[in-house]
Amino acid sequence: MRHVRLFATGVIVLAGVLSLPLLAHAAAASPNFDVNAATRAWLDTLQGPARAKSDAYFTGGYWIALWGTLVGVLVDWLALGFRLSAAFRNLGQRLSKRRFIVTAVTAACYIAWGIVIALPWTIYASFVREKQYGLMNLGFAGWLGEQAISWALALVFGTLAITIIYVVIRRFPRNWWIAGTGVIAAFMAFGMLVGPVYIAPLFNHYTELPQGPVRDRIVAMAKANHVPAQHIYVFDASKQSKRISANVSGIGPTIRISLNDNLLNRSTPQEIAAVMGHELGHYVLGHVWRNMIFLTLIFGGVLFLTARIAPAMISRWGDRWNVRDVADPASLPVLGICAGVLFYLATPLTNTLIRIDESEADAFGLNAAREPDGFASVAMKLSEYRKIEPSALEEMLFYDHPSGATRVRMAMQWKKDHVKNAQMVVPPPMPQDFGDRAGGD
């Protein structure tokens, strides 16, 4: 019930925050402020090679997502075609007669196989391409070290999750997808609880944000919106990239406010306030819990369809693969193919759900920070690596955040509606090579 109370509190607080400017709308509005002209002035600061490069990077990401899915399917298909998943299962059976140990051995081998075989693709998509676009500060050794940590975590927690799901499959052969969805939801909740304290520090160093005007303003906004602000951390994301980012993470005792050093060093106080107001909005509006519910439902739908497609695949090709049935841990690649394709097809839905949350947090942040030009400026920095003016269909299908154009327009509309005698600023042009000053989420 705690998440229900948090969500209700968030709605009440949001209503209170929104009511202040709405009540003063007639007195504060600037009817002569031209939203279209002000929006265009901001958007036109990204021009020439920088704009072409950001467009190319982002639209190339559409193909990266598709090819990544196909690579995953290929890796799983090879594991089946060469009967490797059956070999992994047979290895487990030689080591133990306990079914959960057999499953754990199979899962660990399967995960390790996928990491090794997909390594060339991972190097290209996550390192080479990021370097080409100036979005990676790590050298190859540093990147590989961080990847090794990610792989180790995947090996440990992935093996555990898969083992539990196969226990569920054996105990509930007809409706295993229901309990399997519950298992995944439990792992997501566990990750949200321990992630900020135990996982994030494996990749970055966190220190308390020093006392000063920046911290004072964040604390003031947090207190005004009933967000716990005992801990405000800054972390060294600059070692990995130039992207700016912040978050309110954790649940219960692990809730904390964090911002990275790129945001601190690359942004003005107004921009920092705009970003932090947005992040506080995620907490107040209960987006963590709502996203968990939505993602759980999506996982449930994927597992429901997988529970129907996988048996048909095994019935047709199981003898060739030496896979007996869905309860056989050697069926892991079959489940992987089904889930991978279905999750890819669900991308527009997940993008839309996340984009709605981000848009709500944008509106909240504008009311909390009251920095429309700071918000517009940050939106332009984020557009250094994200196509700034997509079509409506493109934004719906491929964007998990509102586009830069959408965000700048929202900020300028807010400025017209809530700032008395609002004046259009003349923003400075952005660097022509965005790779030298790349933005982040």
Per-residue pLDDT averaged across 374-391, rounded?
93
Q: Which of 266, 377, 383 is nearest to 42 (CA)?
A: 377
Q: What is the 3-state secondary structure (H, E, C) of 88-149?
A: HHHHHHHHCCCHHHHHHHHHHHHHHHHHHHCHHHHHHHHHHHHHHCCCCCCCHHHHHHHHHH
pLDDT over threshold 90, residue 245: yes
pLDDT over threshold 90, residue 11: no
Residues 289 and 282: their CA atoms lie apart, in Å, by 10
Predicted local distance difference test score (pLDDT) of residue 10: 38
Predicted local distance difference test score (pLDDT) of residue 218: 96
Per-residue pLDDT averaged across 407-414, rounded?
97
Predicted local distance difference test score (pLDDT) of residue 17: 34
Residues 19 and 432: their CA atoms lie apart, in Å, by 41
Bridge partners, residue 232, by sequence: 257
The pLDDT-based confidence of 15 (bands split at 50, 70, 90) is very low
Contacts of 184 (CB under 8 A, 6+ apart): 161, 165, 296, 299, 303
Per-residue pLDDT averaged across 63-74, rounded?
97
Per-residue pLDDT averaged across 323-337, rounded?
97
Predicted local distance difference test score (pLDDT) of residue 29: 76
- Please give the distance of CA 52 from its chain centroid, rounded to a whole number: 25
What is the per-residue pLDDT across 189-240, written as a single tens digit (0 to 9) for each?
Answer: 999 999 999 999 999 999 999 999 999 999 999 999 999 988 899 999 999 9
Predicted local distance difference test score (pLDDT) of residue 271: 96
What is the per-residue pLDDT across 108-145, written as a single tens digit (0 to 9) for each?
Answer: 999 999 999 999 999 999 999 999 999 999 999 999 99
pLDDT over threshold 60, residue 433: no
Residues in the chain: 441
pLDDT over threshold 90, residue 254: no
Predicted local distance difference test score (pLDDT) of residue 23: 32
Per-residue pLDDT averaged across 251-257, rounded?
85
The pLDDT-based confidence of 32 (bands split at 50, 70, 90) is confident
Token digits for 95?
A: 């080591």
Predicted local distance difference test score (pLDDT) of residue 156: 97
Contact between residue 237 and residue 260 where contact means Cβ atoms under 8 Å apart: yes
The pLDDT-based confidence of 185 (bands split at 50, 70, 90) is very high
Predicted local distance difference test score (pLDDT) of residue 250: 86
Predicted local distance difference test score (pLDDT) of residue 432: 59
Predicted local distance difference test score (pLDDT) of residue 388: 95
Contact between residue 251 and residue 276 where contact means Cβ atoms under 8 Å apart: no
Predicted local distance difference test score (pLDDT) of residue 426: 86
**SS3 (DSSP) at 345:** helix
| More confident of the two residues 38 and 433 | 38
Average per-residue pLDDT in the chain?
A: 90
Percent of the chain with pLDDT over 70: 91
